Amino acid sequence: MFGSLLKGLQTTWRYMFRQPVTVQYPDVKRPVRERFKGRHELKRFANGMERCIGCSLCAAACPADAILVVPAANDPQDPVSPGERYAATYEINMLRCIFCGYCEDACPTNAIVLEHQYELSFYDRRSSIYTKDMLLVPQDKGHGEVPPILEQLGRQPSPPARIDL
């Protein structure tokens, strides 16, 4: 009986001197894989213009019907995005999203990217809808830099579809 007790404790002692596999979330956050598909971001061009042109192809590709795009015409004097069209409303329902990344595939301008942010919890359904303000990166960020994983592999990201805007 005593022997079995010691046998059990042996495992305990052994693990006492090892690195723990758990992390102290939320104080410590485990890094995700480079290709992890987390929360979406709407990127910008280097000149600060929105990449999204409001074409709704992401919404069309979305298997969960989580994306809503309402397009509008750009003001030629003060365009939001290159070309004639931009997304006046861009919303993603994070409760519906299954993070498949089809929107990313469909996007002709590489505007929508599933990034590494995974902390997506809400107190009510309404706040699960991420609006364009929340998804859009700040003016000076997200100009389509090469992701580190591709840099490691020495590869370039696939270029956006060639479109004449």
Instruction: Give the chain's radius of gyration (CA, Å).
Output: 22
Report in angstroms how near the CB of residue 69 gets to another protein at its nearest.
Answer: 8
Q: Give residues in contact with another protein (CB under 8 A).
A: 53-57, 59-60, 70-73, 83-85, 108-109, 161-165
Comparison of 45 and 118: residue with beta carbon closer to another protein: 45
Helix (H) or strand (E) holding 42: strand 40-42
| Residue (39 or 87) nearer to another protein, CB | 87
Contacts of 44 (CB under 8 A, 6+ apart): 50, 51, 136, 137, 139, 141, 142, 143
Q: Which DSSP string do the residues of 103-125 spell out, in sequence order? A: HHHH-TTS-EEE-S------SSS
Nearer to another protein, 110 or 116 (CB): 110
Q: Smaller CB distance to another protein: residue 23 or 73?
A: 73
| Backbone phi, psi, residue 100, to 5° | -85, -25
Closest distance to another protein from the beta carbon of 101 (Å): 18
Q: Residue 132: which H helix or E strand, with range?
A: helix 132-135
Distance in Å, CB of 117 to another protein, minimum: 26
What's the min distance (Å) between Cβ of 75 and another protein?
Answer: 12
CB of 160 to another protein, least distance (A): 11
Between 79 and 144, name the residue whose CB sits nearer to another protein. Answer: 79
Residue type, 162: R
Give me 126's structure tokens. 């309404």
